[in-house]
Structure 1
């Protein structure tokens, strides 16, 4: 709608370096640089290290008993045959399949962390795209305000000159100035919102090129995709099936249930006592000068049979089952509401795009000229101008809302159903958005 020069002027970017940024490039930078994603990846590595730890055997235990003073020889720390020395080695053997069960619990914990990563990525990509669309359309809105302010400012100057000739009343001039002030205030409010969204974009991308506040980020959209995006082929049943397949939060809830079930098996195994077994050597401390023996140690599960942890694990399974059922209901409602919202916004936009707003734009200059020639009154002019402003701005907001609603559909399903036909480093496609299968 507006050239880059107009957009720069509109956003107060005349003194800022304009850097064009395509959505595909932005998503690539997000996967590469976003600090939250990097932290989540480290968390996955930490959980995977837990798998290695869970599979390790217990270390052997060495016990040494050395007499301090040998009475027969009157020597301290006598390590000869005349002193007494006891050496015992024990190895703990985990019974009940504890190692395999610990590994299973650790593996499920790592899988949960992977789904947390994909869920975070899903949220960040959605935020990135919405921020992108917001900045683009709000820059267009600011450019429209600037164009209107130039025309209205000329009208106010003409009215002031006419007032000096007593051709118009002071009330008319004040009415025009109030309208001018109102438009300038709205324009500044929009500019501040754009600056805030630019700050969000800088945090998401974490790229040196865009970190400096003197850089004005100019989003470049695939306008062909934006115009042709449609909800006509989307069916609620198919979307629900895809949501069950791709939603990472749903996958995490399933993994959480499996984790608690595996933990219950582990707690039952923990009720089985472990066996400590090994050789022992005693010199000079028994009836034999050199005594070799075997030691074995086993706790008798009379009082502590791990009852509390087993009950807690059983209750945790019930908790996860209810949470999973609730999440399934939330997912179904999220998808239904997202689809209905996107269809409503899309239908409204396609019904009115390039119709009456274009007519308003064509009529605007005629209305300004008509007022200056006194063909219409100040009330008619102000009413038209406010309606004109409201129509154009609301159409731009509708375009923003429509694209945000489309991203709401993608977010609710957990994969890109309606996205531009590009691929950035293989990670911004549908499978990556929705997590691993």
Structure 2
């Protein structure tokens, strides 16, 4: 009893020591995480800043730099890469053999010897070792299922990348054209403020009607309100871009972006140069969501094979040693165990796997149909907006540019009234803003084509294609 008592105390101390060790590891991990989320790590700290004052900071950035930062720093992409590693670890687990099973049977009290836990030759002890052998090729089929599951995760990563790059480009173009509109508003507001000041003096001298004076003040108020609304939209888009880039240089809320774009390169994009049939074919070959649907179908087919293999019973085999519990001492034998598939032949799982294949086939057909229509809609929209933009851009710049100079000169020489000038300026403002909006809509429509196709078909010539290339 003293020996077993000591053994019990030793095992208890070992158990307590292991618990304390695990608690220390958890505490160390928590402390490391706390340091990572506090000022000790400025990269992820909400309170850390690179800018000590309230001054605004403007940072130049081009689209190629933004895309490289997205690939490097975006947290969703990093998490998706880890998810792929998780699924690949499942491949390793699926290929492992079952562990051997060891069973020990020791008598508590031996009647002939009047001893407890008698481990001598007079007592009874049984030792049995069994190894499970998976029959029907279960291990290979499990590995195949795990591999297809990892491929599905890879296609999810490519699909996420496609969405994030498209969002990045749309946000980048929106910020660029919205900021151009803000600059136009600033210039217009400065001109109208001078006009309002002059009209204020004229109104006090009774050289201007109150209605005309109020009309100018209303125009100034309208311009300032539109300018502030647009500035808020720019701020929101910049916040989205900061999340996408996740870079220390642009992280601070006081940082403003100054996108660098060559508009001539944007104008060189011609959607009509590509046929719709070619775009649909490219989409069938490159869309990650289509490849994911195809891999999902293959996964279900592999799962059906695995379920058929699971209907085959596994064999448990191993030696057994019995001392004192049989007709003679020191008995050695062999045990084998096999489940008889009399009632449970895995019929339910097999039937479910068969139905799942039918479901995935219909989903794949539906996905193909959706992709074809999505490409067609995006292509037609890009063609219409590109044609509208190129139809009016040259005439707009030429006609309004010369007319605005004439109207300013006419107003200065008192050939036209203030109200006529205000009406013209309001029309001119509306035309400039709508043209900038049309440029934004055109680039968004072009990016919609790239997104629908799953490949950078229409991109500025000087920019590198960074749309993901997914593999089978």
Q: Which residue does 1:5 correspond to in 2?
A: none
| Alpha-carbon distance in structure 1 between the residues aligned to 2:174 and 2:292 | 31
User: 1:255-296 CA deviation, whole Å, 9 max, x = no partner?
Assistant: 001111111111111111111111101010000101111101
Q: Please say which of residues 352-361 and 158-167 is displaced more in the overlay.
A: 352-361
| Structure 1 unmatched runs, 5+ | 1-13
Per the alignment, residue 406 of structure 2 pairs with 366
Distance in 1, matches of 2:84 and 2:429, equals 51
- For residues 206 and 60 of structure 1, the distance between their equivalents in structure 2, rounded to whole angstroms, comes to 49
In structure 2, what is the equivalent of residue 11 of structure 1? Answer: none
C-alpha distance in 2 between matches for 1:70 and 1:257: 62
Equivalent of residue 98 in structure 1, options 128, 138, 149: 138
The equivalent of 1:429 in structure 2 is 466
For residue 12 of structure 2, what is the aligned residue in structure 1?
none
Deviation (angstroms), 1:434: 3.9
Alpha-carbon distance in structure 1 between the residues aligned to 2:463 and 2:310: 49
Q: For 1:15-414, what aligned pairs fall within 5 Å after superposition?
A: 15-371=55-411, 373-414=413-454
CA contact 1:367–1:381 (8 Å) conserved in 2: yes
The Cα of 1:370 is off from its aligned counterpart by: 2.9
Instruction: Compute the TM-score of the two structures, normalised by the length of structure 2.
Output: 0.86
For 1:418, the equivalent position in structure 2 comes to 458
The aligned counterpart of 1:9 is none
1:355 alignment partner, SS class: helix
Give unpaired runs (5+ residues) of structure 2: 1-53
Report if aligned partners of 2:67, 2:466 keep a CA contact under 8 Å in 1.
no
Deviation, 1:364, is 2.5
- Larger CA deviation: 316-325 vs 41-50: 316-325
Normalised by the length of structure 1, the TM-score is 0.93
Relative contact order, higher structure (CA 8 A, sep 6+): 1
Q: Per the alignment, in what secondary structure is the counterpart of residue 146 of structure 1?
A: helix
How far 1:125 moved relative to its partner? 0.2
Decide which moves more: 133-142 or 299-308: 299-308
How many residues end up aligned between the 2 structures? Answer: 419
Shift of the 362–423 alpha-carbon distance from structure 1 to 2, 3 Å rule, reads: closer
Q: CA RMSD in A?
A: 1.5
Secondary structure in structure 2 of the residue aligned to 1:295: strand
C-alpha deviation, 1:382, in angstroms: 2.7
SS of the equivalent of 2:272 reads coil
Matched residues in 2 for 1:135 and 1:260: separation?
Answer: 45
1:378, CA displacement in angstroms?
Answer: 4.2
Per the TM alignment, residue 365 of structure 1 is displaced from its structure 2 partner at its CA by 4.3
Contact 1:24 1:422 in 2 (8 A): no
**3-state SS of paired residue (1:59):** coil
CA contact (8 A) 1:247 1:434 kept: no
In structure 1, distance between residues paired with 2:140 and 2:462: 44
Deviation at 1:374, TM superposition (A): 3.8
Say if 2:67 and 2:165, in contact at 8 Å, map to a contact too.
yes
Q: CA contact under 8 A between 1:357 and 1:391: conserved in structure 2?
A: no
